[in-house]
Structure 1
Amino acid sequence: MKCIIVDDEPIARKGIEKLTTTISSLKLLGCFESAETAAKFIRDHEVDLLFLDIQMSGLNGIELARTIPATTLVIFTTAFAEYALDSYEVDAVDYLVKPIKPERFKKAVEKALSYHSMLLSEEKNVGIEQVNNDFMFIKSDRRFFKVNFRDILFVEGLKDYVIIQTTTQRLITHMNLKTIHGLLPQLNFLRVNRSYIINKESIDSFSNNDVFIRDYEISIGNSYRDEFFDELLKK
């Protein structure tokens, strides 16, 4: 996977560059100190993944992410945890807070590699083929998969696709999050931010800001918070 690093701090760029050398599936094409210079490079080169800082002088990371090709994935790397919800606005794959631990970096890259592979193999004319009371058929990677609603942990939106995470597998199909939300049983499924729909039955725990489902931690968006707590804590 061809990647670039965009960060206005030299030490941060060096640190992320060092982390990329530990993962053989990454090919680093370059490091950039501003979003403007990175944007010019992306226009002339095929880039699969950006390691992108958010708070930079001039064009910031969120603004750059809105301009990149639909096939380019983003992992945000920032010192500010409060920007996590903003990352959902541009379908970021992951959000890493500095200083970045090697194991956390590796996990984010593995997720990006998985999504990149699925996006490359996916056909544009796919989606949900049939919906029943308890299950639906999803066409993914040129096959039809029966997905029981009770087995869905959450659904994640990623650019023009949705990723359905079940108890046993991860499926990707060409559809937006709003469309699939309308097809899921409304009593069981709840949207918690711009990019995620969760199965309420799969929740292990939650805090004021996050939902925990197995090993996954999903942020609760400000505009979705009241509905979430009303649904989960209603008498």
Structure 2
Amino acid sequence: MPARAEASFAAAVLGRVAEQVTCRYAGASRFARGFVRGKLRGDPATATILRLAAAAPFGSVVDLGCGRGQLGLALLLTGLADQLTGLDRDATKISEAAAAAVGLPACFAVADLTTAPVPDCDTLLIIDVLLQMPEAAQRALLGRMVAAARRRILIRAFDPDCGWRAQVGFAMERLGRRVRRDGVEIRPLPLPLLQSHLTAAGFAVRVVPCWAGTPLPNVLLIAERPPA
């Protein structure tokens, strides 16, 4: 299939999945529904992760920092995951996720990822969350992640050494802190350090760009255990 046709096909598939998932948030606010639809249609991580799952279904999934849970629900509704557990510190988002997941094999819970146990799973997702934690907490969580994931770990990370993209990313984060006034400062670990934690635990790791359509230095670390 030509590249342009493949891109159009992928966009159409994402559009259908986004609408199917968004319909489950009928009881949430207009903002929440718009956020869910926008993340599923426009975030490069969604398309990349769905393609990976289509090639090798994810089985039982744990989504750390799941927010409103839309990515995990997309995996369930497309038959690319069997079971979902979502953890996040935001109780309002967890409530919205739980309401959207009624009737599906999913559970959501409020949790502080700096200390919370990580449930055993086949596939572990952590998207744009690790870098928001203190460095020591990131290292500790990585240890719990590699112990819990039987097959694979997917981390969407910020590459602090990615040239002009990293400069733009840090500048946008500084601006975001001024607007939010929440004091949250990102502390992205260098990719070689992230990789070393995963390879030391027996995972084979590859890194793919995950910034399509944005100036950000986002990458996806795909860590998989070799077949037994």
- TM-score band w.r.t. shorter chain: 0.3 to 0.5
- Higher RCO (CA-CA < 8 Å; seq separation 6+): 2
Higher strand share: 1
Q: Give the alignment's TM-score, normalised by structure 1.
A: 0.32
Larger radius of gyration: 1
